């Protein structure tokens, strides 16, 4: 149902849902230890600005902290989130 969501979306383990419904297990290492990295990507007309550069920086940040990261899964999830969000005003992809 691309474009049918309103509000913030999240992808947890590949499942896209409303961010308010997303659940992270209490046993998640990032939650337990506070380890994590993130990038914010600005969207203009529904298109991510400097997408690959942001992904490379995310990958470097994860590597610096020795956190495992499947960058291809992150890339695929980001594009799936964008497809579900549909077109609209400028947004940010977190």
Instruction: Give phi and psi for 91, each to the nearest 5.
Output: -140, 180
Task: Say if residue 69's pLDDT is above 80.
Answer: yes
Cα separation of 15 and 25, whole Å?
Answer: 14
The residue-averaged pLDDT of 46-71 equals: 95
pLDDT band at 25 (very low <50, low <70, confident <90, very high): very high
Decide if pLDDT at 1 tops 90.
Answer: no
What whole-number distance in Å separates Cα of residue 43 and Cα of residue 58?
17
State the CATH architecture for 9-93. 2-Layer Sandwich (3.30)
H-state helical runs in the chain: 29-33, 51-64, 71-85
91 pLDDT band (50/70/90 cuts)?
A: low
Return the pLDDT at 8.
81
pTM over 0.95: no
């Amino acid at each position: 149902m691309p474009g049918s969501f309103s509000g913030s979306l999240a992808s947890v383990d590949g499942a896209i849902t409303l961010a308010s419904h997303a659940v992270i297990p209490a046993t998640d290492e990032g939650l337990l230890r506070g380890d994590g990295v993130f990038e914010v990507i600005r969207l203009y007309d529904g298109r991510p600005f400097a997408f690959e550069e942001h992904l490379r920086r995310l990958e470097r940040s994860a590597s610096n902290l020795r956190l495992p990261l499947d960058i291809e899964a992150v890339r695929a999830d980001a594009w799936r989130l964008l497809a579900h969000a549909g077109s609209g005003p400028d947004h940010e992809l977190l």
